[in-house]
Homo-oligomer: A and B are copies of this chain.
């Protein structure tokens, strides 16, 4: 199957966005999952609810909210630009943020479930052996919740690969910057003669998804052997 150069650009961009969205959101998702599963603080319910918002709102609305918040004139965006020189709108970085935000509830949810399944008795045992909370988290909790983290990462990658609404609304469709596979497919399906192109790109998406799944399954198997859950 041959892709046109434009399509190749879209595929590579999608991979880049999915990769970075996952890399950035994972640690934050782990931290948030930890807060939700293990701590209690005032306003936790609200926080919990906010986490699910990107899922429950139409993605276009999410994109619009991102635009309002993180656009060059947005109430956060203007400071990002002023202080750090970070520009999100119309950039790949912005597409990454959109993908990360949309996949965030999924990632958090997967990690949280895994975290709750970790035997706290093992954590206690580690502490009696002289490990402090951080140490325990890194050496016991984190490895034991690896299947959940992997699953969360897979969801993040998959949903980043498929993200359309928030991306196009927030960062629009700029060739080579924000035009990921879904945006290209969207365009294709809106062209009377775009079916072939759409089919090619859908096929690429499917292949990528399978590759991600395969990789995640391989890693998962290794992880499960490592943590003795075979």
A90 proximal to B (CB < 8 A): no
Contact A58 B113 (CB under 8 A): no
Contact A151 B109 (CB under 8 A): yes
A76 proximal to B (CB < 8 A): no
What is the size category of the interface that chain A forms with chain B? 35 or more
Contact A159 B55 (CB under 8 A): yes
User: Quick one: which of B186, B189, B214 contacts A45, CB cutoff 8 A?
Assistant: B214
Contact B159 A57 (CB under 8 A): no
State in angstroms the CA–CA spacing of A202 and B62 once bound together: 10
State in angstroms the CA–CA spacing of A202 and B63 once bound together: 13
Contact B189 A60 (CB under 8 A): yes
A54, closest chain B residue (CB): B162
A32: chain B residues within 8 A (beta carbon):
none
A208: chain B residues within 8 A (beta carbon):
56
A161 proximal to B (CB < 8 A): yes
Contact A164 B165 (CB under 8 A): yes
A94 proximal to B (CB < 8 A): no
A117: chain B residues within 8 A (beta carbon):
113-114, 116-117
Evaluate whether A57 and B113 lie within 8 angstroms (CB atoms) in the complex, with A48-B213, A210-B49, A217-B45 already known: no
A55, closest chain B residue (CB): B158
Evaluate whether A57 and B205 lie within 8 angstroms (CB atoms) in the complex, with A114-B113, A165-B164, A213-B52 already known: yes
